[in-house]
A = this chain, B = another copy of it.
Amino acid sequence: MHFSIQKNILQEAVSKVQKAVTGKSTMPILQGILIQAINGKLILLGSDKDLTIEATVDAEINTEGKIVVDSRLFGDLIRKLPNDNIEISTNENSTLTIKCLKSNATLVHMLADDYPAIPTIQEEKSITLPQNMLKNMIKSTIFATAHDETRPIFTGVLFEVKDNKVNLVAMDGYRVAIRTEGIDTNVELNNVIPGKTLSEVSKILEDSEEVINILFTTNHILFDLGKTKVISRLLEGEFIKYDSIIPKEYLLKTIARKDDLLNSIDRASLIGKEGKTNLVKLDIQEEKMIITSNSQLGMAREEININLQGDDLKIAFNSKYLMDILKIMDSEEVEMEFSTNVNPCIVKNKGKNNCTYLLLPVRMVE
């Protein structure tokens, strides 16, 4: 193998594929990046078996070949080289020589034949979405996935396409996040994507209308950005029927300025956090909501203006969960729908039907 490439092009490709090299696999070769010089292209690949990222870049290929090189050492070295042409070639003794101006490094490499096979994606179903739309949808739901593995399906996000809509849904037993956008397609989909995969995809997506092509097979998903591809296994098992969990009716509804609500809960939560309860109480009255929290360290009382349709209510929440929701909402005003202080609360952007958040209250001892 022998090729030349500009440093910044190589560095960008390396840092993309490095995101899939997590070190959580027990196979030492997965600490490496697979580098393939073939057909006038350089194809880099990083993987932890569940998630694989591939980047293809143009390079001047003198001799084709493929090797595996330690991800961290190779990545650090490329990053620190001057921004000039880099020449990389293999030697007979399983080493790789990297030359750039007067810099010269020789690294031991691993064999490409030992690298595990990457799942081949035989297209079964596919859809196309603008990158910025998908990025927003991921951000709006991923926080509600579970982080422990007791119910593995909750560590993923449901990717559902039906009735000309794409829905992303995450839940962890205490809350549900649903984000919806319109899509013009006949395809129907119902797959659960690991949260870790979507988190990495989100970092690669750009804030532009450029589209991304998403392909599904029975067990895998491929996010195809042309020069960058992300392949991930899908989670097995059935996602909860979220539709049946979301209450269709409510007894009272409040409209509040999102920042007022978020900042007030944030301050009140300082007291509860110190007391390790994380509890905030909402006292919903006509025209105002009083937010309180107390612990052995003291107490906080916040008051914000609201618009109330319906009767008064006192209800308590885990402040962190409520703030998680409010932090990622993007409208100036939020609507909250309640029934009783033991029924879930629904939070929505005011006047927009693109997201629905459900949060279970905490039972108050009074």
Interface residues of A (CB under 8 A from B): 70, 73, 76-77, 80-82, 95-96, 102-108, 263-264, 266-267, 270-271, 274, 296-304
Contact = CB atoms under 8 A, between A and B. Distances in A.
Contacts of A299: 105-106
B266 A80 contact: yes
A52 to B, nearest CB: 25
Contacts of A297: 70, 73, 107-108
Residue in A102, A106, A298, A302 with the greatest tally of chain B CB atoms within 10 Å: A298
Nearest to A288: B102
Nearest to A102: B303
A278 B111 CA distance: 27
B263 A82 contact: yes
A104 B271 CA distance: 12
Contact of A267 (B105, B274, B300, B304): B105
B104 A73 contact: no
Contacts of A77: 267, 270
Given A80-B267, A263-B82, A297-B108, A103 B302 contact: yes
A70 B103 CA distance: 54
Contacts of A70: 297
B298 A105 contact: yes
Contacts of A296: 108
A297 to B, nearest CB: 6
A267 B107 CA distance: 13
Given A274-B73, A297-B70, A267 B303 contact: no
A80 B263 contact: yes
Given A73-B298, A77-B267, A103-B302, 13 more contacts: A80-B266, A81-B267, A103-B267, A103-B300, A104-B302, A105-B267, A105-B298, A105-B301, A106-B298, A107-B297, A107-B298, A108-B297, A108-B298
11 contacts: A73-B270, A73-B274, A73-B297, A76-B270, A82-B263, A96-B298, A102-B304, A103-B264, A103-B301, A106-B299, A108-B298
A359 B204 CA distance: 44
Nearest to A70: B297
A296 B303 CA distance: 64
Given A80-B263, A263-B80, A263-B82, A301 B270 contact: no
A76 B76 CA distance: 37
Most buried by B among A96, A105, A107, A299: A105
A247 to B, nearest CB: 31
A82 B263 CA distance: 9
Nearest to A80: B267
Contacts of A271: 73, 105, 107
Contacts of A263: 80, 82
